[in-house]
């Protein structure tokens, strides 16, 4: 099928472009990009895209799939459809499933399941290609599935997996998605991973300092009567990780950065030439400790939401490139699991379908971020952290794209979401901004 998108706002972090263009797409490739395209085939589907945004497909660095083991929270298919509905053309799942993704067989099984779903879509033609995408008309293609291979067996932090075998099976990189308490093991992992050339991601967090805390230490924690977590629970662990990277030299990605001091430590390490990248999550850019006043259990996150100073530093860090990427860290839980007291509920929230609209509304429309800065942190930069590239929006390049309507109003409710879980503080609210289509 040949499609002509007329007068669409093209945001391309690769080419540093934010301009209005006509874009011609055919057979999975961009055929032409110009201020006006008049010479087209009679069967071309023409779409008026005034007011819409076209950018590279979004890339999620890490999120959680319920499958295998917790399918009541999320199946692989619902996860992939939720990602597509949120504008993501590549997603990366963490290995903390049940069983954990700590062996090549499970990596192969999950990839084969995705391929099987794609085959079923094509053969049964069960997908309606009409605009706009909605739960009644899901996307015609599923995003690329990246899989993080576990560093340790059963992500327990004790015994290393067969890292080379997992690398051969096609994992995108290695992570447990959980804090490590044994720094000697971390050092050994960095030594073993050096020749494999795969990304490795760590979540630095000192669990002894975290203890039973559920909220960032500060005046709001005292006001709300919730057990605090000191910023040092993160910063001391990051400092130790940076020392190991300096000693071993293996590149490392630092996950879930949430404090202002962490941003300072990472900035200094980058100036010193350490081979590190870093990410924060979308909710840590949007909300601070004051939001916890509602005691909504979907605001119980780990690491916790930061103080206002933390949020300001994280936003500045993303804009400056100190924090390379924005991760979604989509963490689905069932209604029953989340209906508990704030401190007792498991930490985490969904986000694949919500992140782009909310980040755009609160960062781009307020002019705190440029559209290019936000799109870069959600697409090309996370891809680089994974050792991947994203193509520019130019002729002859693959059409891996996301079309977004920043003005469309929609309500966050069960019938408007693909994800099987509803653990989000925005449930029942109207949002502005919705993905129209992806190409991948």
Backbone angles phi, psi at 115, to 5 degrees: -60, -40
Backbone angles phi, psi at 232, to 5 degrees: -65, -20
DSSP state, residue 133:
P
In order of 60, 125, 139, 141, 290, the CA distances from 122 in angstroms are: 25, 5, 12, 9, 48
Instruction: List Cβ neighbours of 109 (8 Å cut-off, separation of 6 or more).
Output: none
Out of 60, 310, 329, 405, the active site residue is 329
The closest alpha carbon to 424, from 354, 323, 342, 320, belongs to: 354
Measured distance CA(87)–CA(287) in Å, rounded: 22
Measured distance CA(24)–CA(4) in Å, rounded: 5
Q: Which residue has the tokens 């291979």?
A: 149
SS3 at position 330: coil
Catalytic-residue membership of 329 = yes
How far is CA 323 from its chain centroid? Answer: 14
Measured distance CA(101)–CA(60) in Å, rounded: 18
SS3 at position 285: helix
Judge if the upstream peptide bond of residue 171 is cis by omega within 30 degrees of 0.
no
Q: Which residue has the tokens 């990246």?
A: 146
Measured distance CA(124)–CA(251) in Å, rounded: 44
Angle (CA) 243 159 200, round 5° = 45
In order of 144, 213, 275, 289, 291, the CA distances from 224 in angstroms are: 42, 13, 40, 10, 11
8 A C-beta contact, residue 263 and residue 389: no
DSSP state, residue 200:
B
The closest alpha carbon to 354, from 401, 267, 421, belongs to: 421
**Structural element, H or E, at residue 174:** strand 173-174
SS (H, E, C) 410-436: EECCHHHCCCCCCCCCCCCCEEEEEEE
Measured distance CA(434)–CA(353) in Å, rounded: 9
* Token output for 124: 């049964």
Residues classed as catalytic: 329
């Amino acid at each position: 099928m040949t499609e002509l998108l007329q007068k669409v706002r093209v945001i391309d972090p690769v080419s540093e472009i934010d301009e209005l263009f006509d874009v011609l797409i055919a057979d999975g490739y961009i055929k032409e990009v110009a201020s006006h395209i008049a010479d087209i085939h009679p069967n071309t589907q023409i779409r008026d895209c005034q007011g819409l945004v076209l950018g590279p497909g979004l890339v999620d660095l890490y999120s959680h799939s319920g499958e295998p083991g917790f399918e009541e929270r999320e199946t692989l298919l619902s996860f992939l459809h939720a990602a597509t509905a949120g504008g993501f053309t590549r997603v990366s799942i963490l290995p903390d499933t049940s069983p954990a993704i700590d062996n090549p067989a499970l990596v192969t099984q999950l990839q084969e399941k995705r391929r099987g779903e794609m085959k079923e879509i094509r053969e049964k033609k069960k997908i309606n290609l009409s605009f706009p995408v909605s739960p009644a008309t899901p996307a015609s293609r599923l995003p690329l599935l990246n899989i993080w291979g576990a560093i340790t067996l059963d992500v327990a932090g004790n015994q290393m997996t067969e890292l080379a075998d997992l690398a051969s099976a096609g994992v995108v990189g290695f992570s447990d998605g959980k804090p490590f308490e044994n720094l000697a093991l971390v050092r050994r992992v960095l030594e073993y991973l050096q020749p494999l050339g795969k990304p490795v991601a760590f979540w630095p967090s000192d669990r002894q300092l975290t203890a039973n805390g559920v909220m960032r230490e500060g005046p709001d924690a005292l006001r709300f009567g919730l057990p605090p977590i000191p910023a040092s629970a993160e910063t001391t662990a990051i400092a130790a990780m940076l020392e190991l990277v300096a000693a071993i030299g293996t590149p490392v990605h630092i996950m879930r950065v949430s404090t202002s001091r962490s941003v300072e430590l990472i900035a200094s390490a980058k100036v010193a030439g350490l081979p590190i990248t870093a990410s924060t999550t979308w909710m840590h850019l949007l909300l601070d400790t004051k939001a916890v006043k509602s005691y909504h259990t979907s605001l119980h996150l780990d690491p916790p939401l930061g103080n206002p100073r933390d949020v300001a530093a994280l936003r500045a860090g993303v804009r400056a490139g100190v924090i390379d990427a924005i991760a979604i860290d989509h963490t689905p839980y069932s209604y029953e699991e989340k209906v508990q007291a704030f401190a007792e509920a498991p930490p985490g929230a969904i986000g694949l379908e919500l992140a782009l609209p909310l980040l755009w509304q609160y960062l781009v429309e307020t002019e705190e971020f440029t559209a290019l800065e936000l799109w870069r942190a959600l697409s090309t930069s996370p891809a680089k952290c994974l050792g991947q590239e994203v193509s520019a929006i130019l002729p002859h390049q693959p059409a891996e794209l996301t079309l977004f309507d920043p003005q469309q109003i929609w309500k966050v409710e069960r019938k408007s979401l693909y994800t099987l879980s509803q653990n989000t503080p925005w449930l029942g609210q109207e949002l502005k901004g919705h993905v129209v289509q992806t190409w991948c």
